[in-house]
Amino acid sequence: MSEQLLKVRGLKIEGRSDETWNQIVNGVDLDLKKGEVLGLIGESGAGKSTVGLASMGFTRDGCRISDGTVEFDGIDLVNASAAVKRDLLGKRIAYVAQSAAASFNPAHRLIDQHTEAPVQHKVLGKAESEADGVELYRKLRLPNPEEIGFRYPHQVSGGQLQRAMTAMAMACRPDLIIFDEPTTALDVTTQIEVLASIREIVEEFDTAAIYITHDLAVVAQMADKIKVLLKGDEVEEAETRKMLSDPQEDYTKSLWAVRSFKRPQKPAVHTSATPVISVQNVTAAYGKIPVLHDVSFDIHEGRTVAVVGESGSGKSTTARCITGLLPPKQGHVEFDGEALPLDYRKRSKMQLRQAQMIYQMADTALNPRKTIGELIGRPVQFYMGLTGAEKRKRVEYLLEEIELEPSQYYNRLPSELSGGQKQRIGIARALAAEPKFIICDEVTSALDQLVAEGILKLLAKLQDELNLSYMFITHDLATVKSIADEVVVMKDGRVVEQGLKNDMFTPPHHPYTDLLLSSVPEMDPDWLTNLLNERGVDNIGDAAVDKM
């Protein structure tokens, strides 16, 4: 029996849009031996997931394999009958999806979904499979392994669900597992735990895996070899260490170089200067559920304050309090030394104008039925009172500011723009009010790294030109490093630490800051191993957060 498990040759996949078939994967080869882990990386639209699914013999609706072969253990998956494929799926080839919360059926308990594949494939009986599930939950270090399976998906946290899904994929002890961005939706401290669990269990059962991600540092920890994809084409493939130390292609090199953008640290602000925005002892709640506890920080002219923390830490709620969308229960917000009314409805047009927002999802933040000219023209008219030719001139000027050619983009609809361009429109719309202060809420987290870097550079340029102040909400510490002057770390609705960026990134840290910083994967393939050796498996991730 050969060592070769998966052999893909010249795989071409077409996707249908508007009744025509367009090629989205242009001939990809894959080789996987038993027990080997292949990292598949690329930006969105590179075809990573499509290739991953195709190596299971599966295509999503609206896609088809147009050419090439997929051989799993000698079985031709392209031409195999549905029954043959069904027999393999779940039993010998398993899948772990990006969003465990969406991929577990909300109507059934975890353990019933876990035992489904083994029972249906007649690998194990129901009771045996349940016992095995509990054992796998234990191995993956889920809390209360005996009990957790009897919960419904909505009763379990995201990181735990992702591990439960890995356990489910392991239920029949498959030869191959496809991991499709399994940690992308998780916080860093949760991610590290899931990564450690996945790596351990894949090693223990000697399972081969294809690990799909856009995060290079993550793939460095997980994969034996890495393949880089770009727009459906293979760029290069190499053993992990070689790929990291000596990438051959320009595109790969550019991916590796993304994290180099860094603004120099500005000196500390003079203590007597009046901050542009001063959040003072703000306590807020959604109904009866308290969210913020006594939050205070200042943002000075021309400065960027990064507010970091994990999901649920109160970052966006703080922004809602500043803009007046959620009036605080206690405390208040000052603008240029003057207290703002708590509720936005009581603020003057001038006060509203001064604080603008840019949103995470440019897709949903732009009205799809308005042209770019209308989208940016609206605040120009509302706040600045410009109409007709003057308004148009102003919009065109703003488009130039965000580096989009006015004549080309003025009459387009948002749907005709790329993700990065849409985010630029979001920036122009905020600038249109000529504010002094802009809240950037995770503005780069939905974008690919190269595009995100472009946005960060643009924001930095605009800050220098217009002396803007930014409140930069993010969970990504790499972004903080590149753009922030000061950092505010939040946890459970409280500010745990704040200070200048350089101070924050040099020890000693607050223990939570330390945990956050140490949980960010690094490009070093030994990073995870070293960290685990150093701290022990029970002192990483959520377990460590809970101990605080």
We find the least distance from the C-beta atom of residue 171 to another protein, in angstroms, to be 9
We find the least distance from the C-beta atom of residue 95 to another protein, in angstroms, to be 4
Taking the least distance from each CB to another protein, the nearer of 111 and 459 is 111
Stretch that binds another protein, among 3-11, 99-107, 300-308, 343-351 (CB under 8 A): 99-107
We find the least distance from the C-beta atom of residue 149 to another protein, in angstroms, to be 14
Binding to another protein in span 67-86, by CB under 8 A: 85-86
99 contacts another protein (rule: CB under 8 A) = yes
The CA dihedral of 253, 256, 257, 260, to the nearest 10 degrees, is -170
Taking the least distance from each CB to another protein, the nearer of 97 and 484 is 97
We find the least distance from the C-beta atom of residue 184 to another protein, in angstroms, to be 14
Beta strands 304-308 and 486-491 are parallel
Residue of 152, 256, 382, 505 interacting with another protein (CB under 8 A): 152
Please give the structure tokens belonging to residue 368: 């799809």
Binding to another protein in span 495-514, by CB under 8 A: none
The H or E element that residue 102 is part of is helix 100-103
From residue 102 to residue 121, the character string flagging contacts with another protein as x (rule: CB under 8 A) and all else as - is xxxxxxx-------xx--xx
We find the least distance from the C-beta atom of residue 133 to another protein, in angstroms, to be 14
Beta strands 176-180 and 93-96 are parallel
Taking the least distance from each CB to another protein, the nearer of 270 and 288 is 288
- Report the sign of the C-alpha dihedral through residues 74, 77, 82, 86, in that order: positive
DSSP code for 3: S
Beta strands 277-286 and 330-335 are antiparallel
In 3-state terms, what secondary structure has residue 284?
A: strand
Taking the least distance from each CB to another protein, the nearer of 33 and 151 is 151
- Please calculate the CA angle 432-438-442 and round it to the nearest 5 degrees: 115
Neighbours of 546 (CB within 10 A): 8
Cα–Cα dist 451/261, whole Å: 12
Taking the least distance from each CB to another protein, the nearer of 122 and 270 is 122
Stretch that binds another protein, among 100-108, 182-190, 317-325, 393-401 (CB under 8 A): 100-108
DSSP secondary structure of 388-442: HHHHHHHHHHHHHHTT--HHHHTT--GGGS-HHHHHHHHHHHHHTT--SEEEEES
Taking the least distance from each CB to another protein, the nearer of 57 and 373 is 57
Residue of 5, 30, 77, 94 interacting with another protein (CB under 8 A): 94
Q: Using an 8 Å Cβ cutoff, are 205 and 173 in contact?
A: yes
397 contacts another protein (rule: CB under 8 A) = no
Stretch that binds another protein, among 19-27, 87-95, 258-266, 316-324 (CB under 8 A): 87-95
Taking the least distance from each CB to another protein, the nearer of 62 and 125 is 62
Taking the least distance from each CB to another protein, the nearer of 4 and 157 is 157
Q: Using an 8 Å Cβ cutoff, are 42 and 230 in contact?
A: yes
Report the candidate in 473, 447, 476, 441 with the shortest Cα–Cα distance to residue 191: 476
Which amino acid does the sequence have at 387? T
We find the least distance from the C-beta atom of residue 286 to another protein, in angstroms, to be 15
Stretch that binds another protein, among 7-15, 152-160, 348-356, 373-381 (CB under 8 A): 152-160
Taking the least distance from each CB to another protein, the nearer of 119 and 471 is 119
We find the least distance from the C-beta atom of residue 213 to another protein, in angstroms, to be 17
Contacts of 131 (CB under 8 A, 6+ apart): none
Contacts of 526 (CB under 8 A, 6+ apart): none
From residue 206 to residue 235, the character string flagging contacts with another protein as x (rule: CB under 8 A) and all else as - is ------------------------------
Residue of 17, 20, 146, 154 interacting with another protein (CB under 8 A): 154
The residue with tokens 């019933």 is 112
Which amino acid does the sequence have at 65? I
Taking the least distance from each CB to another protein, the nearer of 136 and 282 is 136
3-state secondary structure 139-175: HCCCCCHHHHCCCCHHHCCHHHHHHHHHHHHHCCCCC
155 contacts another protein (rule: CB under 8 A) = yes
Cα–Cα dist 504/493, whole Å: 19
We find the least distance from the C-beta atom of residue 120 to another protein, in angstroms, to be 6
Stretch that binds another protein, among 69-77, 147-155, 359-367, 374-382 (CB under 8 A): 147-155
Taking the least distance from each CB to another protein, the nearer of 116 and 492 is 116
From residue 27 to residue 56, the character string flagging contacts with another protein as x (rule: CB under 8 A) and all else as - is -----------------------------x
Stretch that binds another protein, among 10-18, 89-97, 244-252, 518-526 (CB under 8 A): 89-97
Q: Using an 8 Å Cβ cutoff, are 300 and 269 in contact?
A: yes
Taking the least distance from each CB to another protein, the nearer of 58 and 437 is 58
Chain mean position to CA 416: 24
Cα–Cα dist 255/347, whole Å: 45
Taking the least distance from each CB to another protein, the nearer of 91 and 315 is 91
- Residue ranges in contact with another protein by CB under 8 A: 56, 58, 60-61, 85-91, 94-95, 97, 99, 102-108, 116-117, 120-121, 151-152, 154-155
